[in-house]
Amino acid sequence: MSDSNITRLALANSLKGLMAKTSFNKISVKDIVDDCGLTRQAFYYHFKDKYDLMNWIYYTETARFMSSYNKVEHWMDGLTDLCNYMRQNKTFYIKALNTTGQNSFQEYLHDYIRDISISVIENIKNTEFEEERWGFIAEFISTAFVGLIVRWANNGMKDDPAEYITKMRSIFDGSILSELESQSKKISMENPTEPESIR
């Protein structure tokens, strides 16, 4: 492992250790470097601020779940594995999910689920995603999923992620398929001669 990654990991482990005792908002860069025995100069060489460090943790710890299951048919498996990982590190991730604002873990998760929702819509419709037509559906689904995951976390992550995600999947499939089919019927009625390929 390179010296650069060793330094990043030391800073990340210090932040995670501090978050086991207090909220992210109360932690300063000074607290982080004092905890791991590094200098502020070393911190700012690698990260812009504590939010940048937090984002690095999200990316390095969760990217493998996102990238390994980026196919539409497997994304629920990825979300289940991600939730299991969060459950194994629940002290950190419960606090991470309750740290809101720009570049928060909630926002990171929201963007991932929205991207997958768009892929699902493109797969179902067999056409390129149109923000004006389907943006609300993708936004609704991703916001709802994140809300449910936050609720699961705040209840202590007690429920089995596999069962929890399966319940979410049934709602997802039912609502999105129903809405897409409804839109297709409406468009067909308005444009009876329009080829299916451009609907």
Q: What residues of the chain score a pLDDT lower than 50?
A: 194, 196-199
pLDDT tens-digit series, residues 73-101: 677 787 888 889 999 999 999 999 988 87
**Does residue 163 contact residue 152 with C-beta atoms inside 8 Å?**
no
Separation CA 60–CA 175 (nearest Å): 32
Do 3-47 and 51-198 come out as alike in CATH topology?
Answer: no
Please, where are the H alpha helices in 37-104? 40-46, 50-68, 75-88, 90-97
For position 192, what pLDDT does the model report?
Answer: 58
Q: Three-class SS of residue 4?
A: helix
Query: Domain residues of the chain, as ranges?
Result: 3-47, 51-198
**Which residue is listed with tokens 């492992």?**
1
What's 51-198's CATH class?
A: mainly alpha
Cα distances from 10 to residues 50, 79, 111, 168, in angstroms, run 13, 27, 28, 36
Q: What is the CATH number of domain 3-47?
A: 1.10.10.60
For position 177, what pLDDT does the model report?
Answer: 63
Q: Give the residue among 193, 132, 143, 198 at the shortest CA–CA distance from 172.
A: 143
Q: Three-class SS of residue 194?
A: coil
Residue 103 zone, left/alpha/beta (φ > 0; ψ -120 to 50; rest): left
pLDDT tens-digit series, residues 181-199: 666 666 555 565 545 444 4
- pTM for the structure as a whole: 0.74
Give CB contacts under 8 A, 24+ apart, made by 148-155.
149/83, 149/97, 149/109, 150/97, 150/98, 150/106, 152/83, 153/86, 153/90, 153/93, 153/94, 153/97, 153/98, 154/94, 154/97, 154/98
